Amino acid sequence: MTNPTTKTTAAKISAPKLYLLTNDDEISTLLDKLERALDTGVVSVLQIRRKSTLQQYDLATVYQEAELLVSLASEYGVDVVMNDDLELASHFSTGLHLGQRDGSVRVAREILGDDVIIGRTCHSDMALFKEAKREGATYGAMGTMFASITKPKATIVPTATIKKTIDVNFPLCLIGGITLDNVGYIRDELADVPIEYIAVTADIMSHSSDTIAAKCRAWRSKLSAW
């Protein structure tokens, strides 16, 4: 017989972790901003995404910049993932983030090993989200959640689609236009959805160096109150 005083308590969903992406600032400015951000202790993962660098500079410069960024993250014990560059990730023994149509998670896992983070952009594609899990990814990224500076033409993914990830039991990263002003909407609308990471670029990196630490502390407060 069930004890009438016994109550079943739902497991508390852990707060998401902050996943920071670099922007295309000049390298000295970027390093200054990142050091201020990483020093707050709120950043869990750093994605090196330097699209203009790849277009404007030679390969030697790309590797030189990557070495500086990886070294800085290492000083703070922050995991690094390279954006869509398996060779760079292999060279620096970092993780990798693959776009929706960029490369194979399975191949990346075979080359990089089991100890690094590998992510896959899935947008609203649940089949791709499930495939990423099967192939050994660490997380699947869904979004765009809001209009984004870095992806202005991306399609907004409904929260109803995000809720379907619960049944897959695979770490979720939310991407696209997420800011301190709108992250509360995500918390309220997706209260029952486990979210591993919230990815942020412009809401932190578009600001001046002297405001970066305050921005990161504000993010820590938001996530701590999840």
Residues flagged as binding site for Mg(2+): 84, 102
User: Three-state DSSP class for 174?
Assistant: strand
Q: Is 16 exposed, middle or buried (0-12, 13-18, 19+ CB in 10 A)?
A: buried
DSSP 8-state code for residue 167: G
User: What backbone torsions phi and psi does residue 43 show, to the nearest 5 degrees?
Assistant: -80, 125
Detail the residues annotated as belonging to a binding site. 47-51, 83-84, 102, 121, 148-151, 177
Nearest Cα to Cα of residue 133 among 170, 92, 79:
170
H-helix segments, the chain: 27-38, 51-56, 59-75, 86-92, 105-112, 126-134, 159-163, 183-189, 202-205, 209-224
| Euclidean distance between CA atoms 174 and 121, whole angstroms | 10
